[in-house]
Chain A
Amino acid sequence: MTLFDELVAVTDPERVTDRPFDLHLHSADAGLRTGEATVVVFAETTEEVCDVVRLAARHGVPLVARGAGTGLAAGAVPTEGGIVLTLTRMNTISDIDPVNRTAWVGPGVINLDLSRATAPFDLHFAPDPSSQQACTIGGNIANNSGGPHCLSEGSTVNHILAIEMVMADGEVVILGGAAPDPIGLDLRGVVVGSEGTLGIVIRALVKLTPDPPEVRTMLCAFPTVEGAAAAVSGIIAAGVVPAALEMMDQGMLVAVENWLHAGFPTESAAALIAEVHCAPEAADAEVDVIREVAEQEGATEVRVARDEAERALIWKGRKSAFGAIAQTAPNYYLHDTVVPRTRLVETISEMYRIADDADLTMMNVFHAGDGNLHPLIAFDATEPGMADKVHAAADEMVAACVARGGVLSGEHGIGAEKRDLMGTVFTELDLDAQARLKHVFDPDRVLNPRKILPAGSRCFDYGGSPLPEGTWI
């Protein structure tokens, strides 16, 4: 039997496809890079996932897990061909435990749906990527996703207690557990952020966070981007750690306002969105500190959302920003590099300089409190030579961040997009250690191959050993 027939045999003819349109649509995510899927499978049960993984291994075909396809680093793109395993249908939420604040969640559950399901218990899932209305928990785990509120709550890894995973050999394991710190090696922590390269997560025990007693959302407008950036570290240095601290520059404000009509300050060079979660008694004081620092740094307007509707509108604008780029150009490219907060001001200036020098349109919308930048270059990929120019500028931006003590990615993952930049932040020894870890989980390199780690990460391993047999090393 062919791989296709075998996949049909273990699932359902309606859930396996190799028709040209289906393959085309499943060969991309929300980023630029595309691959070529060989076949697409929609799994519904653990057994099906196990069978599909075994078939992939037996046929030696790459297997790429996919959720909603909102990734930006090509983590779910079948760059090496093979099976795209879509997990959107495994979207059950069960065992919501309001006392222990946990729930078991399928990988296909949409992030926002989880928080909606737990809202009656005044609980939510804290990681809130901007794509939270669309992205799935499986993808959040794969990329250790962040989001505005990770400033105070930490990223996905802090909210996953246990993982049920199908290993490369088709066996099912549970890593971690309901206890806050299970004994033994923290394999759960290893899997979160591994982008489907170590196993296929089929269920997760998530930690739920109580809704804050008091929320204040502020919008501060600044005449300069540098002023806004300076306010970011100023606010935290003043002793307030907001639940979220986000920046949008003028280009972004204009694009979002054009769609949403939410009253964003489009005349300003930049705006900060600051949100305070605290006890009701403390709210005014925290708001005052933020206002004071913002005004010191030149803020021309500081607005506090009057009600839930205004608050929701501000966040809707912030979280839809990437999509709004389309009003400017049909394509965008970005890296989500991170720099120490204290170096934000100079780094941002440098980003704009690089874009200006290359004559590219760049907009910024990012998790300022974390120092997690998103310099978005808007362009038209059909212009000859444009893609190369954009990549070159983006690489230069990454280098500028790394030179200031930064890292490659805050939350989007490495995927294929940033794979070849790994050498700029890791030594050969670091990469080798990571490659060995991958080898332990997936010796035949079936699971999302050639993602995260650049070719040659594992010393002496790729492409056969250069050493004669019997050599002792």
Chain B
Amino acid sequence: MTGWVTDVHPTREELDACVHCGLCLPHCPTFRLTGNEAASPRGRITAMRAVNDGVLSVDEDFEEMLGFCLGCRACEAVCPGLVPYGRLFEGARAEIAAQRPTLVSSLRRRVLGRVLPTRRLVETGSGVVRILQKMRRLLPGAVGARLDGLRDLSDNPPSSLGRVAEPEGKPVATVGLLAGCVMDSWFGAVHHASIDLLRRAGYRVIVPRGQTCCGALAAHDGAAADAKRLAEVNRSAFAGVDIVVADAAGCSAHLADYRHWVDGGIDAETKDITVVIAEAIADGRLPTLEGDDPVVYQDPCHLRHAQRVTEEPRTIVRASGHRVTEIDPDGICCGAAGIYSVLRPRAAGELGTRKADQVRATGLTTVVSANPGCEMQLRTHLGDSYRVIHPVELYRERLLAESV
């Protein structure tokens, strides 16, 4: 008799992929912080198996174990047994949501599953944030610090939703760009750079109006019904495009896993923007610029671990006339992890500090990262004197400077 109640629970087959060899342990940020099996991927999988076998149940401790997990999926990338940890994690979180709902967690899931995907509400919220940013000096420390990672929203360019950009010649393919939940309102410049580079690389780009939030944050937090619904909306919205591209690592990783939420996944290739642009550079559709200025590149977990994309963003950085400086051979999570930094400030803070120290040790002040969460976490921990930027922005900036 299993202890599961939902239809997305971790399955016996998925759990059986783990022979508990323990090779994942040192790659797990929370195991590194605590040295505790219960804070390790193997421990979490063993716990899921205990629930699956009816030995233990989804209780307070199970909730804590899974709540402490960042969902960075570093364990998945190093697992020779091919355990689908990301899927198991989302399944277990959905069980917690179903079996142990609290007022706060239900409200939180409602925000992630309903509010974030509602454009009007995000815009209203962004308006409030914009005002708070102007009043930054007047705010108490803890509230103010939350804002420090953000870009200045008053600089945010107009929404990209509904845009269609045509290349100069015959299109290589049609790309549908995911506008995302907060990307458009908070990181709009990344979209603008992406669209421009895609167009220059020969793609026809559309940003369909009918699309919505990818649902990654909802899925990570166990809002399974919302995650399914959002995946279905996007599947319809992107029907007919050749490639669906996201320029936030967390979103592109989630798109790649849509088959977990809708049968067959999305009817097109899904790719992170860094992969598409790196391909175009390799094909000579985009130029490789001269230069050797050193910058730091930080691997977002959802590129490096979830999608095993490591070379492509570096290719873009190099093609933009920069030299890549490495900071962390293991790619340990920076602690942002979606909304983790808000829910678990202590662990997130420790990881953020470690990452910031690694950056500071290089003596460089520009950090390139391809995910909004990482960007905010890095900016929070590094402060104003550092520049944190998406690789496509860095590349386009140089491209424009060269062509002047």
B45 and chain A: residue at smallest CB distance = A25
Residue in contact with B17 in the complex, picked from A22, A113, A322, A330, CB distance below 8 Å: A330
8 Å CB contact of B37 from A69, A108, A112: A69
Name A21's contact: one of B17, B23, B65 (CB within 8 Å). B65
Separation in Å of the A326 CB from the closest CB of chain B? 3
Q: Chain A: interface secondary structure?
A: mixed
User: Do residues B43 and A25 form an inter-chain contact, with CB atoms below 8 A?
Assistant: yes
Task: Decide if B22 is an interface residue (CB 8 Å cutoff).
Answer: yes
| Size bin of chain B's contact surface | 20 to 34
CA gap between A89 and B38 in the complex, in Å: 14
In the complex the two chains form, is A323's CB within 8 Å of B56's CB? no
Q: B285 to chain A: which residues have CB within 8 Å? A: none
Q: Does B16 contact A (CB under 8 A)?
A: yes
Contact A324 B22 (CB under 8 A): no
Give the residue of A25, A68, A331 whose beta carbon is less than 8 angstroms from that of B19.
Answer: A331
Are B21's CB and A322's CB within 8 A?
yes
Out of B20, B22, B38, name the residue touching A22 (CB < 8 Å).
B38
Name the residue on A nearest B15 (C-beta): A330
Q: Are the CB atoms of A325 and B81 closer together than 8 Å? A: yes
Q: Is the CB of B37 within 8 A of A19?
A: no
Smallest CB–CB gap between B395 and chain A, Å?
25
B225 within 8 Å of A (CB atoms): no
Contacts of B46 in A (CB 8 A): 24-25, 28
Q: Contact between A134 and B26 (Cβ–Cβ < 8 Å)?
A: yes
Q: Which residues of A contact B168 (CB under 8 A)?
A: none
Give the contacting residue for B21; candidates A110, A323, A327; CB below 8 A: A323
List of A residues within 8 angstroms of B21 by Cβ: 30, 70, 131, 322-323, 326
Q: Are B35 and A131 in contact (CB under 8 A)?
A: no
Other-chain contact of B82, A26, A70, A86, A326 (Cβ < 8 Å): A326
- How many residues of chain A get a CB closer than 8 Å to chain B's CBs? 43
Would you list which residues of chain A between 403 and 461 have a CB under 8 Å from chain B?
none
Assembled-state Cα–Cα distance A89/B59 (Å): 27
Interface hits, A229-288 → B, CB 8 Å: 255-256, 258-260
B36 on the interface (CB 8 Å rule)? yes
Q: How far is the CA of A224 from the CA of B160 in the complex (A)?
A: 61
Contact among B22, B27, B34, B38 for A30, CB-based, below 8 A:
B22
Q: Which of B21, B56, B59, B81 has the most CB of A within 10 A?
A: B21
Cβ 8 A contact of A323, one of B34, B55, B61, B81: B81
A326 and B47 alpha carbons, distance in the complex (Å): 18
B17 contact set on A, CB distance < 8 A: 326-327, 330
Q: Does A180 contact B (CB under 8 A)?
A: no
Residues of A within 8 A of B79 (CB): 259, 323
Answer yes or no: A222 CB below 8 A from chain B CBs: no
Residues 39-69 of B contacting A (Cβ, < 8 Å): 42-43, 46-47, 50, 55-56, 59, 61-62, 65
Whether A327 and B82, one on each chain, are in contact in the complex, defined by CB atoms closer than 8 angstroms, is yes
What is the minimal beta-carbon distance from A32 to any residue of chain B, in angstroms? Answer: 9
**Complex partner residue of B22 from A19, A68, A326, CB under 8 angstroms:** A68
Asked if B334 is an interface residue, CB under 8 A from chain A, the answer is no
Residues of B close to A110: CB separation below 8 A: 26
Across the interface, do B19 and A326 meet the contact criterion of CB distance under 8 Å? yes
Contact A133-B26, Cβ < 8 Å, known A20-B56, A326-B83, A330-B16: yes
Tell me whether B25 and A24 are in contact (CB under 8 A). no
Whether A42 sits at the interface, judged by CB under 8 Å, is yes
Report chain B residues within 8 Å CB of A22.
Answer: 37-38, 61
Cα of A277 to Cα of B271 in the assembled complex, Å: 43
CB distance from B23 to the nearest CB of A (A): 5
Closest chain B residue to A22 by CB distance?
B38
The yes or no answer to A361 lying at the interface (CB within 8 A) is: no
- Chain A residue numbers with a CB within 8 Å of B82 are 258-259, 326-327
Counting CB contacts under 8 A, is B80 at the interface?
A: yes
Scoring B18, B23, B42, B55 by chain A CB atoms within 10 A of each residue's CB, the highest score goes to: B23
Query: Closest residue to B37 on the A side, CB-wise?
Result: A25
Instruction: For residue B283, give the distance in angstroms from its CB to the closest CB of chain A.
Output: 23
CB distance from A333 to the nearest CB of B (A): 11
For the complex, what is the distance from the CA of A243 to the CA of B62, rounded to whole Å? 46
Complex contacts, A322 vs chain B, CB 8 Å? 19, 21, 80
Q: How far is the CB of B75 from chain A (nearest CB, A)?
A: 11
The CA of A255 and the CA of B50, in the complex, are separated in Å by 27
The reply to whether B35 and A89 contact each other, CB–CB distance below 8 Å, is yes
Expressed in whole angstroms, the Cα–Cα distance for A260 and B78 within the complex equals 9
Asked if B23 contacts A20 (CB within 8 A), the reply is no
Residues of B within 8 A of A320 (CB): 23, 78, 80
Beta-carbon contact of B23 and A134 below 8 Å: yes
Contact with B along A313-333 (1 / 0, CB 8 A): 000000011111111001110
Q: Is the CB of A323 within 8 A of B19?
A: yes
Q: Please, how many angstroms separate the alpha-carbon atoms of A42 and B18 in the complex?
A: 25
B61-A21 in contact (CB<8A): yes
Q: In the complex, are the beta carbons of A28 and B20 less than 8 A apart?
A: yes
A102-152 residues with Cβ-Cβ distance < 8 A to B are 108, 110, 112-113, 131, 133-135
Rounded to whole angstroms, the CA-CA distance of A42 and B31 in the bound complex is: 13
Task: List, in ascending order, chain B residues with CB within 8 A of A364's CB.
Answer: none
Taken residue by residue from 1 to 35, chain A's Cβ proximity to chain B (1 for < 8 Å, 0 otherwise) reads as: 00000000000000000011110111011100000
In the bound complex, residues from chain A placing their C-beta under 8 Å from that of B80 are 255-256, 259-260, 320-324, 326
A70 CA / B25 CA spacing, docked (Å): 10
A21/B50 contact (C-beta < 8 A), A322-B21, A330-B19 known: yes
**Closest CB-CB distance, A187 to chain B, in whole Å?**
28
A466 to B26 alpha-carbon distance, docked (Å): 50
**Chain B nearest Cβ from A51, distance in angstroms:** 19
| Least Cβ–Cβ distance between B207 and chain A, in angstroms | 35
Q: Would B35 and A25 count as touching, CB distance under 8 A?
A: no
Shortest B69–chain A CB gap in Å is: 14
Interface pair B47/A21, CB less than 8 Å apart: yes
Let me know if B47 and A24 touch, CB within 8 A.
yes
Give the shortest distance, in Å, between B49 (CB) and chain A (any CB).
Answer: 10
Which chain B residues border A112 with CB–CB below 8 Å?
A: 26
Taking CB atoms, residues of chain B closer than 8 Å to A25 are: 37-38, 43, 46-47
Chain A residues contacting B37 (CB-CB under 8 Å) are: 22, 25-26, 69, 86
A217 CB-CB contact with B under 8 Å: no
Q: Which residues of A contact B62 (CB under 8 A)?
A: 21
Nearest-neighbor residue (CB-CB) of A108 within chain B: B35
What's the Cα separation between A255 and B36 when bound, in Å? Answer: 30
Further pairs besides A323-B81, A331-B19: 13, Cβ < 8 Å: A28-B20, A30-B20, A68-B22, A69-B25, A69-B37, A70-B21, A88-B36, A320-B23, A323-B21, A323-B80, A326-B19, A327-B17, A380-B16
Q: Which residues of B contact A (CB under 8 A)?
A: 16-27, 34-38, 42-43, 46-47, 50, 55-56, 59, 61-62, 65, 78-83
Could you jot down 9 A-B contacts, CB within 8 Å?
A21-B47, A22-B38, A69-B25, A133-B23, A133-B26, A134-B25, A260-B80, A323-B19, A327-B82
For the complex of A and B, 7 pairs with smallest distance between CB atoms: A326-B81, A88-B35, A323-B80, A330-B16, A320-B80, A324-B80, A323-B21
